[in-house]
Structure 1
Amino acid sequence: MENTAMRITMVKKLMADGFHCQKCIDVQERLEESGYINQIDHFADYVENDAGSEGALLADYYQVDKAPFFIVEKEGKETEVYTIYFKLVKDILEKTAA
């Protein structure tokens, strides 16, 4: 198991109606059911129609156009962005939980 500091941010889309997108809700439920939610260090909202929201700025910076997405920062390594939940689980969460 790696001994480096890691930070995972989940960016969720907050719709104009005040609710998160359905896919974001589904993924968060999976995280909660699996216990992996404890490995998510920060949640950021991509607020619909607010280009200045934290999630919108992150999406712009990392050039991501899907929600939810995950930003994995490991000490001394290049930041990785995951747009596919199952790939995040396989590559990061399962290994970290082991």
Structure 2
Amino acid sequence: MKITLVKKILADGSPCAKCRDVQQKLEDNDQLRFIDQTLIADVRDDDSPGMQIAREFNVERAPFFLVEREGQAPEIYTVYFKFVKEVLQK
């Protein structure tokens, strides 16, 4: 399984508040070790890796998690608690 976290950078260059909150929850709960990569969706750059992934999977909310399991279609989670319950706690 591969887990990608996509966080957003706003037009003024600051990280989105929800992204900061989720990052802090991941750190506080020792869950960052499960994240294989973190990509940045920079709204000032449509070609940033996170923006490309968001377009590919038609996601408009950040942060989000892309979960890729071998032999299965990728899954998107836009809600931290659902991601934890359905992916990390299984």
Aligned to 1:21: 16
1:8 and 1:17 map into 2 onto residues whose CA distance is 28
Give the alignment's Cα RMSD to 1 decimal: 0.8
Deviation of 1:48 (Å): 1.4
Equivalent residues, number: 90
Residue by residue, what CA displacement relative to the aligned partner does 1:38-97 show, whole Å, maximum 9, x if unpaired?
1000000000121100000000000000000000001111110000111000000112xx
**Uncovered stretches (5+) of structure 2, i.e. residues with no partner:** none
1:11 and 1:66 map into 2 onto residues whose CA distance is 10
Larger Rg: 1
Q: Does 1:37 align with 2:38?
A: no
Which is richer in helix?
1
Query: With structure 1 as the length reference, what TM-score do the two structures score?
Result: 0.88
Aligned to 1:8: 3
Query: With structure 2 as the length reference, what TM-score do the two structures score?
Result: 0.96
**Uncovered stretches (5+) of structure 1, i.e. residues with no partner:** 1-5
- Percentage of identical aligned residues: 47
Aligned to 1:3: none
